[in-house]
Amino acid sequence: MKIFKEIESLRTYLKQIRQPAGLIGFVPTMGALHAGHLALIAASHQECNYTVCSIYVNPTQFNNPADLAKYPNTLDQDIAMLEQAGCDVLFCPTHTEMYPHPDHIRFDFGLLDKTLEGEFRPGHFSGVALVVSKLLNIVRPDKAYFGQKDFQQYLIVSKLVADLNFNVQLRCMPIVREPDGLAMSSRNTRLTSAQRKRALVFYQSLQQARARLHAGVAFEVVKAEVKSICENQPEIKLEYLALADTANLSLLKNVTTQSILLIAGYVGEVRLIDNLILTE
């Protein structure tokens, strides 16, 4: 009989028994796939033997019912893209499959789920943590791939995985952008062509903020400048521009060795987010 006192060695042993065929990579998504999602699939493809993708628009992470109702659904096109990308398995469950009973589990990540996205989308990260927990337990991947685009989500999932001992290695992949710099997002498909042009203001604000910070301007001043740029644009409503620590998202007044600029706001009725990791 084998006796294990350490979680890691027990898992390593069980893994050898369970998966003689190789590593399973997992890419959870909400569909309406674009090149950002495909970059995650490609990374999994490169590092793992099997790639599993999920498409599930998780209702428990939507604090705004209108946003959920309008979330784009392009399943046939998504399936074609995944086949083309060499994805091995797609999991696209129904709501009754995922939530057969009313859900009551709530997560509390302290400051991490109250700040920034958490402040403007109350309950959002509890829903994310719930669905990611369920998906990780269902798929039991060796590695799971997330985008830097949702940086706060990545930190939440990292905390979830560490604190609940999920046996998975996480990867955070860079933001894939349109040629003009707009961060790819499923929500971009909801923009009119005029709004699509205006949406660029968020990325431009991040770039300008980075340049001003690197020139030694205080963040409070930079923030006021960005606010005034956004206020002068039609259909743009800035929710926040923040300078934060990449480890825990605590807010910063000046750039440090681990800082990130994060921005969120509306173009018309469409809410977009973006960020830039700063290096000194």
Residues that bind ligand AMP (CB under 6 A): 29-30, 36-37, 39-40, 146-147, 149-150, 173, 175-176, 183-186
> Does residue 160 contact residue 184 with C-beta atoms inside 8 Å?
no
Please, what is the minimum distance in Å from the beta carbon of residue 228 to ligand AMP? Answer: 27
Single out the residue of 180, 42, 100, 108 nearest to residue 188, CA to CA. Answer: 180
Catalytic residue flag (residue 37): yes
Distance of alpha carbon 38 from alpha carbon 85, whole angstroms: 7
Q: Name the region of 86 (left: φ>0; alpha: ψ -120 to 50; beta: rest).
A: left
Give the residue among 207, 271, 243, 203 at the shortest CA–CA distance from 116. Answer: 243
What is d(CA 159, CA 95) in angstroms, rounded to the nearest whole number?
26
Q: State the nearest-atom distance from the C-beta of 117 to ligand AMP, in Å.
A: 12
| CA gap 79, 134 in Å, rounded | 22
Q: Which residue from 237, 240, 243, 247 is spatially nearest to 267, judged by alpha carbons?
A: 237
Length of the chain, please?
280
CB 184 within 8 A of CB 177: yes
Which residues have a catalytic role annotated?
37
